[in-house]
Structure formats: C-alpha cells, structure tokens
Amino acid sequence: MAMRETTTGTHGGAGALALTLVLLVLPATGAATPRVADAKRLALQPSDLPSSARRTSEKSNRSARLPGGGRGHAYATTFQFPAGRKRELVTVLVIAAQSDATARAVHAQLVTEAKRAPGAVAVRLRSYGAGQFAWLNGRVGLGEAQADILVLQGAVVWGVGVSTDPTASDFGFTRPQAVAELSKYAGKQRRRVGTG
C-alpha cells in the first residue's frame, strides 16, 4: 500500500517538518495491518485547535513496516492558524504498532534521530508518557524557536511539533512561547491516545 499524501498549503518549520518526514521513509507492505489502533483517530482533531485552524497536509500509511520487524498504522497531519501576527503550525505524528515491543523500537529510533538533529536542545516538560523526549531547535536565542516532543504510550508512539510559518519575517517563538505551545498541544494529544 502506497503512502497517501494530501497537501493543501505550506507547512512546518524544521522541527515540525521532521516529524512528518518520518512517514515518507516507512516502507509500505501489500497487506493491511490487523489489530492495530487507527492512528488517525488517535491524533489531534480540528476540535483540539482554534476554530480558525485548517489542515495543510495529511499523510497516512495503514500498513507501515516498522523497526524491529513489526507493522503498524502511521499518520501525520499539520494544522495552521493565525496566532497574533504569526501563523502557527501544529504537526502531529501518531504511529500505532502491533505490539509494545515494536512501538518501543520505533520510539527509540525516532528519539535517536531527534537527538542527532543539528541545533536540537533538550527541554524539560511535565511528563506526558514513557521515554518522553522534548526539544527545541531553530535560533532559540533570537526568539526563533520551534519545539517538538516524542512520547511512547503502550503500543503507540506520538509526536507533536509547534512552529510558525517559516516564510514569515516574524518566524519562530521565544523559548517560553515554544514550551507553552508545545505543552498545550502535547497535553491534548496525550488525552487523545489515553493509555495507548
């Protein structure tokens, strides 16, 4: 099954875009994946965002081959909405695996890649789940930060990224703004996944 992609506009800064790009490298298989949660239903929904938010991209792979030999359903979407003088982007990634072990392998690979990203600076947030890794990137000292988080909840790996429109002259968040926005949407995403 090939990756389905719909794009209706510009999305993502470097951090948020990194979460969606992971779906492009997950090879697909021909068979549907049995007994796996619907990743799209576990992801943030339009009702979790301001009423002006619109979806600017959507990617889904219902039979992704995951690290460790497992399979799962991978889904990512980006929403964009006005936020003061900026246009905020919230990117969500959800990977529902067949087993907790497969989810742990996926999570470990994604966290390793995130830690290696140029300019990534780890940041502490309240706990949203096991193996949580949150980071800022961009030019944090200049108020051009973006923020991302990856979390493992049972057989589900999820990530949220917040950034602003990279084509705008007033790009990025200050560190406190990035942490506040990430915390807001990470909390909502955690509630969507529940206990995994």
CB neighbours of 10 closer than 8 A, spacing ≥ 6?
56, 80, 165, 166, 167
Residue whose C-alpha is closest to residue 178's, from 131, 113, 133, 125: 125
Q: Give the other-Cβ count within 10 Å of 182's Cβ.
A: 28
Confidence of residue 130 (pLDDT cuts 50, 70, 90): confident
Confidence of residue 172 (pLDDT cuts 50, 70, 90): confident
| CATH code, 135 | 3.40.1000
**R_g of the chain computed on alpha carbons:** 16
Please count the structural domains in the chain. 1
Please give the Cα distance from 72 to 53 (Å, whole number). Answer: 28
pLDDT tens across 55-87, in order? 998 888 877 788 777 889 999 999 999 988 888
Domain that holds residue 66: 4-193
Number of residues in the chain: 196
